[in-house]
Amino acid sequence: MSRRDDIVAAARKIAVTEGVEAISVRRVAAAAGIGASTLRYYFPTIKDLFSALASGNLDDYLSSEGLEDASVPAVDRLTGLLMQFLPPNDDGVGQLETVLSVHQAAFESGKLVGSDALRDLNESGEAIVTGWLMKLREQGATLSIDPGEGARLLLAMTNGLALELIARAPGFTINDARQRLGLLVRLIVSEEK
């Protein structure tokens, strides 16, 4: 692994264990075992580091734990998995602003069209959610639409809920988001009782 890869891996580990808001030049440099000036050599701005993080694969951040647990209804399993795209509780809503900065960093300066990094991130999320839907279908759940379309719709919903949490917090809670997401999941996934 290159020094640059080591830095991104250190930043990714911090993001996963402490949240994206914990990422700073000094914190990442210390975690990578380098000085801040070395980090700045590879990533002149924090935006450059966030852009490198955004170009990663969501497999590093998302878990499929619980997907196989047939004792839990498919709708509840999928809703729980999708909640990984949102903060774990209302105290974490502020983290969404930092996540938005990661997405913003993935856009090329002065252009409205997203960079390859943002496209890769979206495609990674879509592939993961499509896989979850296909696995639920293999386990006997019925899908009302194609798994790929379902994934795109569910991700659009999680993106919208994230923005709503920022705009309406504290009036709109993570529990409200879970209920709305669950409603959409029930429109896409059903299972015989």
Residue ranges of the domains in the chain? 1-55, 60-191
Structure tokens at 17: 């264990």
- Residue 98: the pLDDT is 59
Q: Say which CATH architecture domain 1-55 belongs to.
A: Orthogonal Bundle (1.10)
pLDDT one digit per residue (tens) for the chain, 193 residues? 789 989 988 988 887 777 777 888 999 999 999 999 999 999 998 878 877 776 666 766 678 899 999 999 999 999 999 998 888 777 776 666 656 666 665 565 555 566 666 677 788 889 999 999 999 999 999 999 999 999 999 999 998 998 888 887 668 888 999 999 999 999 999 987 5
Tokens of 178: 């879970």
Choices 2.60.40.3620, 1.10.357.10, 3.40.50.720, 3.40.50.2000: CATH for 60-191: 1.10.357.10
Whole-prediction pTM value?
A: 0.74
Buried b (16+ CB within 10 A) or exposed e, 103-131: bebbbeeeeeebbebbebbbebbbebbbe
Q: Do domains 1-55 and 60-191 have the same CATH topology?
A: no
Q: What is the reported pLDDT for 116?
A: 67
Enumerate the β-bridge partners of residue 189.
143
Q: Is 159 exposed, middle or buried (0-12, 13-18, 19+ CB in 10 A)?
A: middle
